[in-house]
């Protein structure tokens, strides 16, 4: 019974992924991931590192090496969307400027701490990344939104 339920859920997710996609301006993508009772505080968190070319480069290294973000979000930051075994939602497309504008740095940091529940976006702090590395990788994530569109 449990097995059939899982199958049903994953079928629904697959249908959802194909119908909703991760397109720019997609309403589902813009919905906050941080729970309502935390979001006010989380939005006050600021990146302590300035967005200098050197800091962005440090973030780029994390993205490609120990953070392995590139395996899901892609070289171009658009999210690959065809990863076998992905449960449900597609990796975020970081070049979506509407999505970039909808999130504060604090909300992105919260995601690196907690993951996005129910998706393949896992928690990275503290097991994989230090807080400092996480802030740097977020400078790199932000840079996708500036260089395109």
The residue ranges that bind ligand HEC (CB under 6 A) are: 33, 67-69, 71-73, 89-92, 103, 107-108, 111-112, 116, 119-121, 124, 137, 141
3-state secondary structure of 126: coil
Tokens 């569109």 identify what position? 149
Cβ 103 to ligand HEC shortest distance, Å:
5
Tell me if 90 sits within 8 A of 72, measured CB to CB. Answer: no
Nearer to ligand HEC, 1 or 24 (CB): 24
List the one residue out of 129, 16, 140, 124 whose CA is nearest residue 74: 140
Nearer to ligand HEC, 4 or 32 (CB): 32
Nearer to ligand HEC, 1 or 127 (CB): 127
Cβ 80 to ligand HEC shortest distance, Å:
9
d(CA 149, CA 147): 7
Cβ 132 to ligand HEC shortest distance, Å:
13
CA separation, residue 78 to residues 85, 115, 131, 138, 148 (Å): 19, 19, 24, 15, 11
Cβ 61 to ligand HEC shortest distance, Å:
11
């Amino acid at each position: 019974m449990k097995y059939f339920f899982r199958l049903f859920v994953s079928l629904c997710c697959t249908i959802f992924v194909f119908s909703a996609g991760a397109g720019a301006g997609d309403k589902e993508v813009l919905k906050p991931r941080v729970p309502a009772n935390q979001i006010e505080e989380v939005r006050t968190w600021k990146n302590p590192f300035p967005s200098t070319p050197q800091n962005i480069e440090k973030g780029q290294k994390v993205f490609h090496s120990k953070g392995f973000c590139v395996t899901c979000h892609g070289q171009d930051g658009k999210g690959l969307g065809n990863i076998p075994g992905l449960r449900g939602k597609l990796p975020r497309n970081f070049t979506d400027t509407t999505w970039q504008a909808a999130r504060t740095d604090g909300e992105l940091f919260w995601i690196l701490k907690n993951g996005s529940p129910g998706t393949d976006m896992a928690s990275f702090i503290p097991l994989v990344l230090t807080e400092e590395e996480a802030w740097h990788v977020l400078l790199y994530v932000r840079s996708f939104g500036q260089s395109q569109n």
